Amino acid sequence: MSIDNEMLKKKLAEFAQEKVNIAFFGPPGSGKSSTINALCGAEVVTVGVNTDTTLEAKVIEHGEVAFIDLPGYGTSKFPQKDFFIKFNPLQYDLFICVFDGKLRKSDTEFFQVITKAGKPCIFVRNKIDEIYDEDKTTDQSQDIIRQDLAGQIGKEDFSLIFICARGDMLTGIEELQNSIISQMYAARKEKYYMAAKVLTEEYLQEKKELAMKCVSKSAKYAAFNGLNPLIGVDAAIDAAIIYNMYENIRKHFDINEKMVVDSILTITTKNFLLKGMSKKGITIILQSITKKLASKSVFKYIPLVGQATAVCAGYKIVKEAGEEYLIACYQAAQENMLRRLNAKKQT
């Protein structure tokens, strides 16, 4: 399917509206399903008495978010490798790790994987009704849990919320909701950015193919109209062909001359392209390409073989001029799109 500019804008707008997908993980029986129920204020998922109650990824839509109740990771039913294949967890935007004691090795591993993928994670210490210790204040008990977690995940800065998800003694749910809301904004932007990046890349690839056809067409035109170069004297190719070809390439990428020049960093290419803006400049480009190609075998026999080889040379010159310009335009269009996406990400 071909993506035009309007369709691209529409698709990006749709991405901006998408729900943020929040996935839960953590040891079996730690209270993931209970936490989802507490957040939704209703019994939307089954809470178990035995471990491994949740066996399928269940999606619960709730306002702007979708909660995903994942089964236990690294359990006998879902060894780590199978879990990644079956549930593709990295598709989700934000993670909540619910635990009620120590994390298992598999949970810390899972956390490392999502962190590496740039996904945010909120830690939720559930069942605080069970951490009562008469020798310690609540703050002291929570400090110990925090330090313990820091040691387990090898990180000092993380969000940790203490809750009780049991229906009859709900505690800390509002704080968890606030934490989700504050992280959701960043997660949504990241999601939009990633999706838009893929989409713009596809869009540019398509434009590149179309521009490539335009280059081939111009090159054939030059070949069959006998617009052939004479080495060392002048490039006889009509500058208008290249001038029009450049303009067409820019049109394909929806960019202007200034954008192309600005995006090119190397001085030589920049001069090359600056020259390309005038017909006189194009003649200079043609001469430089002619010289460049002269070292290749194609030009060696021109005076001897004559027309047939010269046709081929005319074709090559225009093709080369077009391909170099196309790469520059592609880069300029890509930079322009990424700059626009980044600006949106910063707002």
| Residue 165 binds: one of ligand GTP, Mg ion, none (C-beta under 5 to 8 A by kind) | ligand GTP
| Cα–Cα distance for residue pair 94/184, rounded to 1 Å | 7
Instruction: Identify which of 249, 233, 242, 316 has the alpha carbon closest to the alpha carbon of residue 281.
Output: 242
Q: Near ligand GTP by CB under 6 A, which window of 26-34, 56-64, 256-264, 278-286?
A: 26-34
**CA dihedral of residues 167, 172, 177, 183 (deg, nearest 10):** -140
Structural contact between residues 53 and 40, judged by C-beta atoms closer than 8 angstroms: no
Q: Does 125 bind ligand GTP (CB under 6 A)?
A: no
Bridge partners of residue 160, in order along the sequence: 123
Position among 49, 85, 304, 343 found at the interface with ligand GTP (CB under 6 A): 49
* Residues of this chain, 144-203, that bind ligand GTP according to CB under 6 A: 164-166
Q: Does 57 bind ligand GTP (CB under 6 A)?
A: no
* Residues of this chain, 66-85, that bind ligand GTP according to CB under 6 A: 72
Smaller CB separation from ligand GTP, 1 or 49: 49
Total residues at interface with ligand GTP (CB under 6 A): 22
Smaller CB separation from Mg ion, 125 or 188: 125
- Distance in Å, CB of 168 to ligand GTP, minimum: 9
- Distance in Å, CB of 51 to Mg ion, minimum: 9
Position among 119, 127, 188, 207 found at the interface with ligand GTP (CB under 6 A): 127
- Distance in Å, CB of 15 to ligand GTP, minimum: 31
Q: Does 37 bind Mg ion (CB under 5 A)?
A: no
Smaller CB separation from ligand GTP, 73 or 246: 73
| Cα–Cα distance for residue pair 146/19, rounded to 1 Å | 31
Q: Does 263 bind ligand GTP (CB under 6 A)?
A: no
- Distance in Å, CB of 60 to ligand GTP, minimum: 12
Position among 30, 35, 37, 54 found at the interface with Mg ion (CB under 5 A): 54
Position among 3, 21, 44, 51 found at the interface with ligand GTP (CB under 6 A): 51
Q: Does 334 bind Mg ion (CB under 5 A)?
A: no
Q: Does 218 bind Mg ion (CB under 5 A)?
A: no
Question: What is 231-268 written as a DSSP string?
Answer: TTTB--S-HHHHHHHHHHHHHHHT--HHHHHHH--SHH
| Cα–Cα distance for residue pair 172/129, rounded to 1 Å | 11
DSSP helix/strand/coil, 230: strand
Tokens found for residue 100: 């009620």
Position among 22, 30, 33, 35 found at the interface with Mg ion (CB under 5 A): 33
HEC string of 155-224? CCCCEEEECECCHHHCECHHHHHHHHHHHHHHHHHHHHHHHHHHHHHHHHHHHHHHHHHHHHHHHHHHHH
| Cα–Cα distance for residue pair 222/220, rounded to 1 Å | 5
| Residue 218 binds: one of Mg ion, ligand GTP, none (C-beta under 5 to 8 A by kind) | none
